[in-house]
């Protein structure tokens, strides 16, 4: 038999062991033991999963649009540099503006047939490839080739032009060398928004097309077919329209008719060129219509023809479609000096002074009123 004193010893020993175990268990549970390690492991796994997930980006892009690049002999002679041409300095004032946008449109009014065909000026233009180089360097990446001067120098110039543009990472439309090329409408994507541009002219100065694809001439049937080919493949659809009456500050009935047709057929933005002067801007339902951006650069005479517009918007893709916000006009002026004219440079109106353009504030006010003819809410810089 175990003595009473020994029993007492065993009881006390067991109680001591139990007490130690309870202390150890308390430490594990409340002082960073097994449970705490498990929680930490779970948190680390969650963070790892979160880090691997792509952040949700808002589907939004910015777009700026400029008008006609009308390269008269005075302009390309001023750009002469060594054995080539450098137009970059003429655009350096607007380059920072254009570069700040995701997409930038302009109309290459004079065909880039290259110097090998012989450069030429009004009435039948041909321009050097360096014109395109300068606009690309300035950030333009959507180019219309459909206008009344596309056919000026014949099929060889059209082939040279497309060979030049096809080698560049841009969207071009409006002139092609084959029906396959004409019907292969390029679609691109930026920030999750798919987009393309179609381009048409209502006039060719009476020059007949040798082949249908050489220039896109506007007709409701042709345009409707082209729109149907791409409308369900893109979020944003731009249409460049070379239309209207030259040097007319207002909007013709034909422009209104075409604009309504394009709006009815789901075009998001109609970009007007050809009048060589700035014309009004309006929304037709959800379609933004810029009737004329005026000249981007030219050697025409008269403040009205030397004043153009850069027009910008923000595009957001929502479940219901794209939404156009922040429509804004910025006016530009092509400066030159001397006789013969030289030192061509495109200035934002915000950088003008009385030495560059006397009474520039008066011309600015006239442009503001003209742009807001139909919509007083259009912002102006």
Same domain, 12 and 91: no
Same domain, 45 and 193: no
Same domain, 273 and 360: yes
Q: What CATH code is carried by the domain that includes residue 354?
A: 3.60.21.10
pLDDT digit string (tens) for 208-218? 999 999 999 99
Same domain, 216 and 274: yes
Q: Which residues of the chain have pLDDT under 50?
A: 1-5, 7-12, 14, 17-18, 20-51
Same domain, 284 and 376: yes
Same domain, 97 and 163: yes
Same domain, 41 and 72: no
pLDDT digit string (tens) for 165-209? 999 999 999 999 999 999 999 999 999 999 999 999 999 999 999
Same domain, 155 and 300: yes
| pLDDT score recorded for residue 3 | 46
pLDDT digit string (tens) for 83-103? 999 999 999 999 999 999 999
Q: What is the DSSP letter of 109?
A: -
| pLDDT score recorded for residue 19 | 52
Q: What is the pTM of this model?
A: 0.85
Give the residue from 174, 184, 257 showing the smallest Cα distance to 213.
174
Same domain, 15 and 109: no
Domain that holds residue 193: 60-380
Choose the final residue of a domain: 12, 30, 52.
Answer: 52
pLDDT digit string (tens) for 312-343? 999 999 998 999 999 999 999 999 999 999 99
Same domain, 120 and 171: yes
Choose the final residue of a domain: 19, 35, 52.
Answer: 52
Q: DSSP per residue over 4-57, as a string?
A: HHHHHHHHHHHHHHHHHHHHHHHHHHHTT-HHHHHHHHHHHHHHHHHHHSPPPP
Q: Which two tokens stand for residue 107?
A: 């109309």
Same domain, 278 and 354: yes
Same domain, 109 and 13: no
Tally of domains in the chain: 2
């Amino acid at each position: 038999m175990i003595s009473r004193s020994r029993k007492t010893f065993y009881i006390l020993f067991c109680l001591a062991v139990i007490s130690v175990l309870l202390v150890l268990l308390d430490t594990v549970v409340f002082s960073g033991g097994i449970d705490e390690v498990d929680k930490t492991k779970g948190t680390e796994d969650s963070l790892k999963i979160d880090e691997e997930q792509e952040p949700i980006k808002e589907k939004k892009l910015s777009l700026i649009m400029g008008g006609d690049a009308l390269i008269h002999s005075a302009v390309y002679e001023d750009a002469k540099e060594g054995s080539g041409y450098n137009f970059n300095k003429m655009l350096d004032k607007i380059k920072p503006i254009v570069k700040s946008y995701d997409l930038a449109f302009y109309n290459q009014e004079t065909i880039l047939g290259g110097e090998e065909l012989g450069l030429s000026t009004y009435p039948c233009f041909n321009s050097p490839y360096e014109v395109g180089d300068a606009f690309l360097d300035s950030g333009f990446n959507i180019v219309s080739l459909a206008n009344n001067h596309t056919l000026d120098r014949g099929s060889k110039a059209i082939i040279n032009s497309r060979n030049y543009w096809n080698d560049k990472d841009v969207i071009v439309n409006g002139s092609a060398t084959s029906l396959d090329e004409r019907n292969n409408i390029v679609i691109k994507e930026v920030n999750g928004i798919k987009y393309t541009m179609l381009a048409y002219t209502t006039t060719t100065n009476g020059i007949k097309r040798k082949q249908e694809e050489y220039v896109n001439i506007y007709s409701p049937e042709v345009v409707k077919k082209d729109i149907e080919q791409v409308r369900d493949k893109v979020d944003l659809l731009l249409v460049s329209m070379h239309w209207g009456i030259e040097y007319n500050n207002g909007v013709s009935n034909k422009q209104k008719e075409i604009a309504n047709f394009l709006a009815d057929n789901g075009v998001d933005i109609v970009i007007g060129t050809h009048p060589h002067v700035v014309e009004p801007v309006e929304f037709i339902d959800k379609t933004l219509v810029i009737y004329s951006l005026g000249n981007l650069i030219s050697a025409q005479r008269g403040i009205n023809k030397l004043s153009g517009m850069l027009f910008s918007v923000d595009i957001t893709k929502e479940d219901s479609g794209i939404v156009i916000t922040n429509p804004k006009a910025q006016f530009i002026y092509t400066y030159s000096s001397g006789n013969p004219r030289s030192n061509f440079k495109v200035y934002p109106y915000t950088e003008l002074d009385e030495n560059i353009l006397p009474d520039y504030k008066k011309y600015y006010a006239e442009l503001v009123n003209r742009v807001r003819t139909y919509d007083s809410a259009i912002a102006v810089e």
